[in-house]
Homo-oligomer: A and B are copies of this chain.
Amino acid sequence: MDSATCLWWMRANLTADVHAVCIDYHQRHRIELEYAAVLAQQATVATHTVLEIDLASIGGSPLTDDNIDVPSASEDQQSVTVVPYRNLLFVAAAAARAQSLEIDDIYIAPVRDDSAAYRDCRREFYDSLEQTLRLGAPADGRITIHTPFVDMWKRDVIRIGLELGVPYEMTHTCYSGRRPACGICDACVERIDAFRANGVADPLDYEIDIDWA
Which residues of A approach B to under 8 Å, CB–CB?
A: 49-55, 57-61, 79, 82-89, 92-93, 95-97, 99-100, 118-120, 122, 124-125, 128-129, 131-133, 135-139
In the complex, the answer to whether A85 meets B136 with C-beta atoms within 8 Å is: yes
Q: By CB atoms of chain B within 10 A, which of A50, A132, A133 has the most?
A: A132
Question: Which residues of chain B come closer than 8 Å to A93, judged between CB atoms?
Answer: 53, 58, 89
What separation, in Å, do the CA atoms of A58 and B51 have in the docked complex?
8
The copy count of this chain in the complex is 2
In the complex, the answer to whether B89 meets A85 with C-beta atoms within 8 Å is: no
Question: Which residues of chain B come closer than 8 Å to A55, judged between CB atoms?
Answer: 96
In the complex, the answer to whether A49 meets B58 with C-beta atoms within 8 Å is: yes
Question: Which residues of chain B come closer than 8 Å to A125, judged between CB atoms?
Answer: 132, 135-136
In the complex, the answer to whether A92 meets B85 with C-beta atoms within 8 Å is: yes
In the complex, the answer to whether A84 meets B88 with C-beta atoms within 8 Å is: no
Question: Which residues of chain B come closer than 8 Å to A128, judged between CB atoms?
Answer: 128, 131-132, 135-136
What separation, in Å, do the CA atoms of A128 and B133 have in the docked complex?
9
Question: Which residues of chain B come closer than 8 Å to A52, judged between CB atoms?
Answer: 52-54, 57
In the complex, the answer to whether A119 meets B92 with C-beta atoms within 8 Å is: no
Apart from A85-B133, A132-B132, 14 more pairs, CB < 8 Å: A51-B53, A53-B93, A55-B96, A58-B97, A58-B100, A60-B100, A84-B100, A85-B95, A85-B96, A86-B96, A118-B138, A119-B135, A119-B136, A120-B138
What separation, in Å, do the CA atoms of A132 and B88 have in the docked complex?
9
* Contact for A132 among B83, B129, B137, CB less than 8 A: B129
Question: Which residues of chain B come closer than 8 Å to A51, judged between CB atoms?
Answer: 53-54, 57-58
What separation, in Å, do the CA atoms of A197 and B213 have in the docked complex?
77
In the complex, the answer to whether B87 meets A136 with C-beta atoms within 8 Å is: yes
